[in-house]
Structure 1
Amino acid sequence: MMRTRSLAFLPLIALAGCDMAPKHVRPAGDVPTTLPQGGVYRPASPAAADPTTIAWRDFFTDDSLRQVIALGLENNRDLRIAAGNVLQARAQYRVQRADLLPTLNGTASATFTNSPLGLSGTGTGTGTGTGTGTGTGTGVSTGAAGGATTSTDTIKIYQANIGLSAFEIDLFGRVRNLTKAALEQYLATEEGQRSTRITLIGEIATAYVTLAADQERLAVAHETLKSFEESLRLTRAQFRIGIASELEARQSETNYEGAKNDAAALDAQIAQDQNALNLLVGTTVPAELLPRELGDKALTIRDLPAGLSSEVLQRRPDVLQAEHQLMAQNANIGAARAAFFPQISLTATFGTISTALSGLFASGSDAWTVAPSAVLPIFDFGRNQNNLRYAKASRDVAVATYERTLQTAFREVADALAQRSTIDAQIGARERRANAAAVAARLADARYRAGVDSFLTSLDAQRTSYAANLDLTQTRLTRATNLVTLYRTLGGGLN
């Protein structure tokens, strides 16, 4: 008989070691194994360091920019929100993890009960007595009809117990999988915080170089404005004495007012740039840390590696976050499957009981109870089945989210690499164009003053030089933001 009972428990013991959650397999994401190479992309540079190992303090070489980024990491509110989300997720995980172990509770109680102990009704008694002498007597005693005699006492019971209540014996992994799901959500939130940190560093750097570029544009606008003002003064003077036509004076005025408008617009744009930078940093950036111009000064290291494997993207925090969320959904499937099996729980107490407080811990006062229970779902109107369907659908969404995140990461890096491959050539062309336009403007002005060319030629040359300098500044800004973008999209910037 004992052997038969042991065999009956074998399937239950086997299930106790099972995990009903699907095994995690990292989705491929349908991206190439290597980042783009050949054509517009630079050849591989194996000597360059892995960007994920380059600390942001090493990547950014400008000291003022480093100080601004440090201020942002200390004060930015989005980063504080992300840190708070991590603390919340960690606390939720620890709450769920506590269900793996029984919760012990200590209780103490005293009960006092007062109730009647006896009742008396009609009674009859007969007695016979014999004495020495001559006489016999008989006596009869009759109680009063309907009379009652009551006596009361107080019953006292003292108890002290320690035990556990409804502790689930996790034979089918429901609680374990719920705990794993909470853990993966916590880890996903941590990766989300890291992603927020990297994004913040990139956004601060981009806002900083944008402010620097606008400061440089404003300087170009003011310098051009002076040149246009001189031309306007000259043409107006010539118009008054009849040397120049009103058309030339009006054309010169058009150039001057256009540059004046540009300068005013850039003043407003610079104020907005500072507001944006202050918001990112979370406090007012000291004036001494603000850039004055972009120039050709390197704010970052000059080069980042090319020809990397696309596996580097799987170390990006946002990709890791999506993967942890996928693993959490797999665990939720395991918990949903376990809900179809019996839920076994145990309630047990051990303590002491006595009718006197002084005897509460005396010998022989021990008391204990053990109450196992099992609940098997029989008919729940499809609740468990639809919970499982929901968990599977959530897993499918998590798979698609992971794949989309990986594909987006690949596209961001590929775009940055494509731009990086040609940006130096663009800078060189813009610099040569700006130099040539400046020379052409000087020559055209000299020829106009000498009466060789018309004022229109000089006017066009001035406008071309102005536009060329603005384009050069814009291309320098593109180069600066491109390296920041590439560094961020490759997952650098944590230390």
Structure 2
Amino acid sequence: MSNINLVKNTLSFFTLPFVLSACVNLQSPEPAEHANIPLSFYSSTNGQSIAQQSYKTFISDQRLLQVIQLALDNNRDLRTAVLNIQKAQQQYQITQNDQLPNIGVSASVIREIDSFKNPNNPYSTYQVGVGFTDYELDLWGRLKSLKDSALNQYLATQNNRDAVQISLIAQVSNAWLNYALASAQLKLAEQTVQTQLQSYEMIKKRFKAGVDNELPLHQSEILLETSRNDVANFKTQILQAENLLNLLVGQQVPKNLLSDQSIASISNETVFTTGLPSDLLNNRPDLKAAQYQLRAAGANIGVAKARLFPNITLTATTGFASTQLKELFNAQSFSWSIGPSLDLPIWDWGTRKAGVKISEIEQQTALAQYEKTIQTAFREVNDALATKMFISDRISAQERLVKSTYRSFQLSQNRFKSGLDSYLAVLDSERSTYAAKQNLLVLQQAKLNNQIELYKSLGGGLEH
């Protein structure tokens, strides 16, 4: 055999499996979802969705942006999500490689005796070859379906990582705002304690002088101790907010990046546009991840169906074999072997068919989860919009309430000093003023939290 013929035979031998492995696609088509979602958001504003903005553009406070960057660098949940992407990428690579034969080189020396030819004269056989073992001919698309499933799982994992980042930015922002709110509430409570302590001392003197009875003294003491309890409570809330922030960030947050007073604004935006409902499907990575999971389930049906058909694998080698080492690489020593293996399901008590049904049920489950994810996303946006619709009205009403209660407090003091009313009216109006101011801080905080929630629910939080 000439060297040219040797090369031709070798190339023909190795291309044969690829010619035989023309695939049949048994995957199930992606079913249409019926999420029954509204055609539009209520109380939405026309224009490009704020989710199209990078969080670095949407958030205006530079201290918060630095805290968010620390979280993106150190948060353990986000780090786990990145590792999951790397794992899914390697799993996809494995399924892709399974479509190709694993080619290896082998060499052996065998010392043996042929009892029929010459039982008293052992001889050696030298062999060198290249080949592959158990290469599956993907006639029914099983390996291709496995690859498609792994690819969609990988893409779903990538979007899950983006969803984790969006959630992390919102959590860090809210925790940072909660720290500022607790600090502002603490200052107000401490100021109130000082004012009420002065009132208590004054009433105590009046009681000892016999001007007032014992009731105003105890009423004043109740108000004072309530405010002292609030001081301790807000100090606890500050520490807890800091602990949560440190957990989310993954390290100790520097004090200079925290705010010890209420935050007036968190974004430069004045109009919070939502875009079209269809934009939500493109902007929210959790919706994309659910869709990729649905596609992966469809590919798994193809895997299960392929198991109903015969499975053919090849084992083949080509190389040289000789009983003389010096003649091992001569053309006359060339040898090859090929051996197909057939796995034909005949009777398995319905196990393979049950596998198909299970994969079809899993696809329906993935479809239901996808539809639920879409419905949940629209609900989150509409909930945020519902809060946004009336939060300004609530704040305006609360501001008027603060002015009214403070004016009532001033009038009560004047009437008390004029001898027209007892000090109980002063204590009651003072308590109302303090509660109104605390509630105003809470509502102002809720407005900022709502802006973060709307940005998050629309899919904002990535760099564009």
Residue of structure 2 equivalent to 1:418: 386
Could you report, residue by residue, the CA deviation over 1:195-244 in whole angstroms, capped at 9, with x for unpaired residues? 00100000000111111111111111111111111110110011111111
**CA apart distance, 1:306:** 3.9
Query: Is 1:293 aligned to residue 255 of structure 2?
Result: no
Query: Is 1:112 aligned to residue 111 of structure 2?
Result: yes
**CA apart distance, 1:483:** 0.6
Asked whether the equivalents of residues 52 and 460 of structure 2 are also in contact (C-alpha less than 8 Å), the reply is yes
Letter of the 1:89 partner, please give it. A
Letter of the 1:270 partner, please give it. I
**CA apart distance, 1:307:** 5.8
Could you report, residue by residue, the CA deviation over 1:228-279 in whole angstroms, capped at 9, with x for unpaired residues? 1111011001111111111111111111011001101111111111101110
Report which stretch shifted further, 392-401 or 422-431. 422-431
Query: Is 1:28 aligned to residue 27 of structure 2?
Result: no
Letter of the 1:399 partner, please give it. L
SS at match of 1:205: helix
SS at match of 1:79: helix
1:40-189 to 2 correspondences below 5 Å? 41=43, 44-46=45-47, 49-114=48-113, 152-189=120-157
1:413-452 to 2 correspondences below 5 Å? 413-452=381-420
Letter of the 2:168 partner, please give it. L
Letter of the 2:382 partner, please give it. A
Residue of structure 1 equivalent to 2:16: none
Asked whether the equivalents of residues 217 and 470 of structure 1 are also in contact (C-alpha less than 8 Å), the reply is yes
Which of 321, 328, 338 is residue 296 of structure 2 equivalent to?
328
- CA distance in structure 1 between the aligned counterparts of 2:251 and 2:223, rounded to whole angstroms: 39
**CA apart distance, 1:293:** 1.3
Report which stretch shifted further, 422-431 or 110-119. 110-119
Residue of structure 1 equivalent to 2:453: 485
Which of 343, 357, 364 is residue 332 of structure 2 equivalent to?
364
Residue of structure 1 equivalent to 2:198: 230
**CA apart distance, 1:118:** 8.5
Could you report, residue by residue, the CA deviation over 1:65-104 in whole angstroms, capped at 9, with x for unpaired residues? 0000100000111111111111111111111111111111
Could you report, residue by residue, the CA deviation over 1:122-141 in whole angstroms, capped at 9, with x for unpaired residues? xxxxxxxxxxxxxxxxxxxx
- CA distance in structure 2 between the aligned counterparts of 1:204 and 1:301, rounded to whole angstroms: 19
SS at match of 1:392: helix
- CA distance in structure 2 between the aligned counterparts of 1:353 and 1:17, rounded to whole angstroms: 36
**CA apart distance, 1:374:** 2.5
Asked whether the equivalents of residues 35 and 307 of structure 1 are also in contact (C-alpha less than 8 Å), the reply is no
Given the superposition, is the C-alpha separation of residues 92 and 26 from structure 1 closer, same or farther in structure 2, using an over 3 Å criterion? Answer: same
Asked whether the equivalents of residues 179 and 238 of structure 2 are also in contact (C-alpha less than 8 Å), the reply is yes
Letter of the 1:284 partner, please give it. Q
Query: Is 1:474 aligned to residue 447 of structure 2?
Result: no
By percentage of residues, which structure has more strand?
A: 1
SS at match of 1:297: coil
**CA apart distance, 1:14:** 12
SS at match of 2:120: strand
- CA distance in structure 2 between the aligned counterparts of 1:92 and 1:253, rounded to whole angstroms: 68
**CA apart distance, 1:50:** 2.2
SS at match of 1:152: coil
**CA apart distance, 1:284:** 0.5
Report which stretch shifted further, 484-493 or 430-439. 430-439
Asked whether the equivalents of residues 409 and 433 of structure 2 are also in contact (C-alpha less than 8 Å), the reply is yes
By percentage of residues, which structure has more helix?
A: 2
- Whose radius of gyration is greater, 1 or 2? 1
Asked whether the equivalents of residues 70 and 249 of structure 2 are also in contact (C-alpha less than 8 Å), the reply is yes
- CA distance in structure 1 between the aligned counterparts of 2:250 and 2:73, rounded to whole angstroms: 8
Residue of structure 1 equivalent to 2:225: 257
Could you report, residue by residue, the CA deviation over 1:289-327 in whole angstroms, capped at 9, with x for unpaired residues? 111112433455333204632442353111111111110
Letter of the 2:348 partner, please give it. D
- CA distance in structure 1 between the aligned counterparts of 2:446 and 2:88, rounded to whole angstroms: 39
Asked whether the equivalents of residues 142 and 306 of structure 2 are also in contact (C-alpha less than 8 Å), the reply is yes
Asked whether the equivalents of residues 311 and 343 of structure 2 are also in contact (C-alpha less than 8 Å), the reply is yes
Query: Is 1:244 aligned to residue 226 of structure 2?
Result: no
- CA distance in structure 1 between the aligned counterparts of 2:110 and 2:354, rounded to whole angstroms: 48
Letter of the 2:340 partner, please give it. P
Query: Is 1:197 aligned to residue 154 of structure 2?
Result: no
SS at match of 2:261: coil
- CA distance in structure 2 between the aligned counterparts of 1:286 and 1:465, rounded to whole angstroms: 35
**CA apart distance, 1:425:** 1.4
SS at match of 2:259: coil
Asked whether the equivalents of residues 290 and 370 of structure 2 are also in contact (C-alpha less than 8 Å), the reply is yes
Q: Which runs of 5+ in 2 are unaligned?
A: 1-18
Letter of the 2:409 partner, please give it. A
Letter of the 2:383 partner, please give it. D
**CA apart distance, 1:23:** 1.4
Report which stretch shifted further, 309-318 or 79-88. 309-318
Residue of structure 2 equivalent to 1:394: 362
RMSD: 1.9
TM-score (norm 1): 0.86
SS at match of 1:330: helix
**CA apart distance, 1:456:** 1.4
- CA distance in structure 2 between the aligned counterparts of 1:50 and 1:274, rounded to whole angstroms: 32
Could you report, residue by residue, the CA deviation over 1:131-165 in whole angstroms, capped at 9, with x for unpaired residues? xxxxxxxxxxxxxxxxxxxx832301100010111
Query: Is 1:461 aligned to residue 460 of structure 2?
Result: no
- CA distance in structure 2 between the aligned counterparts of 1:30 and 1:474, rounded to whole angstroms: 36
